[in-house]
Amino acid sequence: MQQASSQLDSFLPSKYLNPENPSKKAKFNDVPYNYKTIICRHWKKHGSCRMGKECAFAHGEKELRPPSNITEKSHGKCQESLISSMRSDRNYDKKANQDNSTILLMEERVKNIKKSLELERERMSSLSKKKNNEIDLLSKENSSLKRKNDSLETLNEILRKQNEMLGSKLDGIINQRSKLRKRK
């Protein structure tokens, strides 16, 4: 009994401790007969319980106590407690279901956002490739135009030189003609 009492102290809610002397050890008779005699179903199902240390049910084998004898007098209280606990459990389940629904909605939103981002990345990648191809094409055209421009400049230089030669030949012919006219 002493060992069970010391184990009880480690997870006993503050409402069962002596407020005038919190260090005073709790006794089995100080707590409800069914305190921590059943594993908490929320803790078992979800791995946590919103009640924490205040929960009347055991959170694991370590907190589990052996059941005590239920007297006829306490049986009515047990039923009331059980009904109250069931109502509380229903509210907890509703809240948990709402929370799960919210989590599922949020996960669906995140999945949709990820899909949108992936599609946007693909679109941007496609646009980038298209722009790079256009740049390459323009670069090739620019190189071709530059070569043609260089060729035209070379041809212009050749034509200028030929013009100069023709001009000097023409001047020579004109001079000869004028000399011939003067002789006549």
User: For residues 68 and 30, is the Cβ–Cβ distance under 8 A?
Assistant: no
Per-residue confidence band for 1, with pLDDT thresholds at 50, 70 and 90: very low
Query: How far lies 154's CA from each of 79, 145, 146, 159, 162, in Å?
Result: 110, 14, 12, 9, 12
Q: For residues 59 and 102, what is the distance between their CA atoms, to the nearest angstrom?
A: 26
Give mean pLDDT, residues 158-184.
88
Lowest mean pLDDT among 99-103, 161-165, 172-176: 99-103
